[in-house]
Structure 1
């Protein structure tokens, strides 16, 4: 019985912590059209930057590294 009540207590405290974290994350709802258009504009700018970065990455040539070009350990002198 003690194990069950301990498990319930731990579960309730975890749920309380999760609910508290959700209210403190700074996400708010707004019906202001100017604010909504600002958020949409920033999202479009971010998406265009991501697409440009992906496009420039695909156009860049791949660099190949030669294996064994630089030995990590020197051979002992004989």
Structure 2
């Protein structure tokens, strides 16, 4: 019983400390057009970087698997002749 109570207490304190850490910055609203344009520009740049990184990751394994299949095809046809 004491172990369960201790586990619950630790879990609650972890959740509380996490909530406290998140409340420091918070979400702010701005009507300044320059700030809005800057944030949108940075968001677009981040999105482009993420898309490029994801497409590079998607192309690399597919390219390797194509080479792998070709090498099997050559060895299989060479051994059957």
TM-score normalized by the length of structure 2: 0.46
TM-score computed with the length of structure 1 as normaliser: 0.47
